[in-house]
Amino acid sequence: MEWNKLVPELLVANYPRSKDFYQNLFGFKLHFERAEDNFGYFDLDGAQVMLLQADASQHQALSRAGSGLHFQVEVAAITGVLERLMAASIELQAPVTEAWYRADDIEYGQREFFVADPDGYLFRFYEYIGERAVA
């Protein structure tokens, strides 16, 4: 596995619950874990994240500090993640949409949706659908 140069470490209220959510619903694989520290390093096709259980005061203070932040994760197809979330009755924060984002004279397209993890961290999962010239 290649280590990314920037990997977010998310403080979570309950590591076992978050670990289960990230593995079974988001589809991340556990790369390594320090169970005695309630810490895990996860990977989803190159998208990497660390989870660390924090005490209640740390978690509350730091989750407020990161409000407004969301994580974008590219997957080959969003259907697998969506199916797992729906089967677990997890509500999406924003429905699946097709979005086109301009970079100079090219627009890049993606099908995307937003969902929150058990600690309220917001994720945008997307699949790439192509590019086109700016109209």
For residue 125, the domain's CATH number is 3.10.180.10
Q: Which two tokens stand for residue 98?
A: 């097709």
- pLDDT at 35 (0 to 100): 93
Q: pLDDT tens across 17-44, in order?
A: 999 999 999 999 999 999 999 999 999 9
Lowest mean pLDDT among 1-15, 36-50, 95-109, 120-134: 1-15
Percent share of the chain, pLDDT over 70: 90
* Of residues 60 and 3, more confidently modeled: 3
- CB atoms closer than 10 angstroms to residue 127: 16
pLDDT above 60: residue 66: no
Percent share of the chain, pLDDT over 90: 79
Domain annotation covers residue 28: yes
**Which domain range does residue 68 map to?**
9-133
CA distance from start to end of the chain: 40
Domain annotation covers residue 2: no
- Total structural domains within the chain: 1
Domain annotation covers residue 115: yes
127 forms beta bridges with 111
Domain annotation covers residue 32: yes
Alpha-carbon distances, residue 69 vs 47, 99, 116 (angstroms): 16, 19, 11
Domain annotation covers residue 29: yes
Verdict on whether the full-model pTM lies above 0.95: no
